[in-house]
Amino acid sequence: MPKREGAPVTLAWECLSNLDDEQRFSARLRLHNASGTPIGAGWALYFNSCRRILPWTVDGGFAIVHVNGDLFRLTRSAQEDWAPGRDYALRYQARFWAISITDAPLGFYLVTAAGQAIDLGDPAIAPFVQPCQLLRHAHDLVPAADAAWRYRENAALALLPPHAVGRVTPRPLEARFDEDARRVILRSGTPLVVRGDAAALAGEIALLRALLGGLPAGADDEDGAAAHIVLECGPVAAPGAEAYLLEIGAGPGGRAQVLLRGASAHGVFNGLQTLAQLLEDDGALPAGRVLDAPRFGYRGLMLDVARHFVGVDTVLRLVDCMACYKLNRLHLHLTDDEGWRLHIDALPELTAIGARRGVPGADEAPCLPPSFGSGAAVAGSAGTGYYGRADFIAILRYANARHIEVIPEFNLPGHARAAVVAMRARHDRLLAQGDAQGAARYRLDDPDDASAYESVQMWRDNVVCIALPSVDRFIETVVAHVAALYRAAGVPLWTIHTGGDEVPAGAWTASPRCRALMRERGWDTVGRLHADFVARCRAILARHGIACAGWEETALVHAGGTTAMPAPPGGHGPGVQVYAWNNAWGSGQEDLAYRLANAGHDVVLANAASLYFDLAHAKDPHEPGYYWAGFVDTRDTFAFRPFAMLDAAAADPMGRPVAPARRAALQRLDAAGRAHIRGLQGQLWGENAGSPARIEYLAAPRLLALAERAWAPDPGWDGIADPAARAAAIGAAWNEFANRLGQRELARLDRAPLDWAYRLPPPGVLCEAAGDATIVHANAAFPGLALHYTVDGSAPRADGPRYRAPLTLAAGAVLKVASFDTRGRASRVVTIDNRMSHHEERHGRDHNGAGGA
């Protein structure tokens, strides 16, 4: 939440040092009463922080208390009015470190002594410039991603001629184009022939008509020939129902023809995406042939709408972008501690309470507390919102028309605070009405539970009591409602994701209901209790004919605080999919995906270290996102090796080399396990995705790299034994893909209807002293991307000078340079002052008025 204009209090925050202690950092918060009137004694400031503040370190006459989750309360020890114009400053320490804007506290609001809540917005954040602010601790070996670092990283890239850059993304199985042949020309009225069942291709026909509708009408170009188009389903010399053949050239009788044959309607749809990429604005197509099929059947993206809600339009835009690059699963993370986003008719409290965040006024219904900077206001908050029946059906139908399966997730038994709080409110309401039986029907918590635990996200009450029969009834009701929505949409429901991750240690240990069930069943650990709950969830879904999916924890057995490998999944029922995510080096689970696959589980690779799109792109203070599993740039996703991911890791998240002995001790994927790797999924968690623009910034262009690895044929890297030769092969492949982005695909994302707010990487810049002058070298992360500059200190513009060769910057001059897309949107600006070292600053806003990062 940005700084609020006219707020009675202004705030400024800075990280002082990360080097005082390896597990904590120090910070300063400054407060200013800008209201012009006193703020009465008894006020409190609330804010969200992803870092736990250590209360005994707070000075300046203040106290900070952890409320729950990421919510903290700051109060003044002295009971006195806060005079207008008065400044306060306090220092404190917090766990771990702060090296970027993401680590700063945010979403401040003032609660007066009378109980009025007033949003203040986010503090001004001081730049991170000193080593003590840029290093996590003394052993952090990851360099800061400043402009000079980017220049060195980009220096390995070379601009390729257009003919050496692939025309289609993701790369097809086979593609060849005849540059000497006459181009084929399409027009808005190009004849279309459908062979076979036209009704089965109704969606594809409509898509093609829309594509043709944007083309010119009229006579042939002198360099081409007007064509007709043939669509059909039939045999394709490539495996799977998504395969297609696209032939562009001379048809029967020598007449120009575009033949698109798919192994199914989905195959035809995929071929149309390729056709759209090959089609130029004037309607020209290159003569050639594409034979294509995906490497993996599962190619997904997970969108978290629980932490921050986004509307239907944003989801549909994401679906369109996914379809363009042949992704076929949208995993919607609909529930978590901070929100429940799907209305369930029988359980209205789930959205009446669980879909609203803020500080309710005296006349408002209860809600969840502010999280991730969502602020005090309930209405209009990024923490408030849900999908009603019509909304969800619209998403299902839209995705289904693009051959994308929507997999809804309802996260249980951990990450469930929104549901627990909502069902407790339902219980209290019905109990007050005298309906004790109805009150207990869907309760999710044991009121006598004295278990002490805290989740990774610092919640102390977010776990469902899995010994209650009412929990099974709750799940059954939700599943039945969701199944009915899919039926109403006319869309098959194949899978529901049950979550299951990150249940904190200590949960259930002091619950009388859980202890009683454990005694009854003869279970000696809560791990057995948890395994029984997972089996019950699977049984409920099976009764509805729905396959079960879950995060990796759902396939593990916990006993005595240790994790044992699960038995083969024969007892779990068909179609169970396990999403393996926590492969960060040092987690102890680097090889867990392979252990699960080798044991017979169907595994979707959702690896944090390569496929978490909520993680920051680089160690740059301006880059939004966490970095607990490392930094994930587009190249990291592109270079992901699904069957050899253990060999690819050279360093841990701190940049320290991974010991060969540690890597050698890990379990490799065996031949049987390889067959159980179903595909890849990118994760876009929502903690730092508080707006549609931020979602698009975090998603792309990493989404394109995900599509490349999930669809394109095996690049053969795993078969190169020599590490240097393998690195060279990966580097050459990356250079071609980076050129594809810079020369083709980013421009495609610029055009309507996508008009995508993707991340524009700031340029790399290197300075060399030349007497009083400075020689400035600049380069782009994606060759072909335009760099524009000024030398008078003004902001660079797309119609200004374009950087093409090193510049000589005279003494006293100020150069500013940025990357630009084809719409004139700029990246962050690099500023070079000949009297000072370069630094980076934010540059304006994009055409939608949203911050560029």
Catalytic annotation, residues:
502
Return the bridge partners of 368, or none.
357
In terms of C-beta density within 10 A (0-12 exposed, 13-18 middle, 19 or more buried), how is residue 166 classed? Answer: buried
> What six digits make up the tokens of 219?
């006579």
Number of Cβ within 10 Å of residue 819's Cβ equals 28
> CA 244 to CA 269: how far, in whole Å?
9
Structural contact between residues 840 and 619, judged by C-beta atoms closer than 8 angstroms: no
What strand order describes the sheet that includes 829-833? 786-790, 814-820, 829-833, 839-841
A 10 A CB-CB count for 19 gives 18
CB atoms within 10 A of CB 5: 6
Exposure string for 796-813, b = 16+ CB within 10 A, e = fewer: beeebeebeeebebeeeb
Distance CA 820, CA 798 (A): 7
d(CA 334, CA 796): 41
CA-closest candidate to residue 216, choices 284, 276, 288: 284
Question: For residues 436 and 586, what is the distance between their CA atoms, to the nearest angstrom?
Answer: 49
Residue 317, CA distances (Å) to 696, 699, 838 in order: 9, 12, 37
Q: Which amino acid is at 758?
A: Y
What's the DSSP call for residue 368? B
> Between the CA of residue 20 and those of 25, 50, 64, what are the distances in Å?
7, 20, 20
Task: Please spell the DSSP secondary structure of 744-781, one letter per residue.
Answer: IIHHHHHSTTT------PPPEEEEEEETTEEEEEEE-S
Q: What are 687's two structure tokens?
A: 């903690």
- Give CA torsion, residues 802, 806, 812, 818, to 10 deg: 40
Question: How far apart are alpha carbons 363 and 171 in whole angstroms?
Answer: 57
DSSP string for 522-579? T--SHHHHHHHHHHHHHHHHHHTT-EEEEEGGGG-EEETTEEEPPPPGGGG-TT-EEE
Q: How far apart are CA 819 and CA 798, in angstroms?
A: 9
Helices and strands in the chain: count of H runs, count of E runs: 22, 37
- SS3 of residue 326 by DSSP: coil
| Selection from 821, 837, 838 nearest residue 829 by Cα | 838
Distance in angstroms (rounded) separating the CA atoms of residues 334 and 342: 7
* End-to-end Cα separation, the chain, in angstroms: 14
69: left (phi over 0), alpha (psi -120 to 50) or beta: left
Closest CA to 232 of 213, 218, 251: 251
Q: What is the signed CA dihedral for 616, 621, 626, 628, rounded to 10 degrees?
A: 100
Asked if 665 and 620 count as a contact pair (C-beta separation under 8 A), the reply is no
Q: How far apart are CA 176 and CA 287, in angstroms?
A: 9
Burial 55-82 (b: 16+ CB within 10 A, else e): eeebeeebebebebbbbbebbbeeeeeb
* Residue 285, SS3 per DSSP: strand
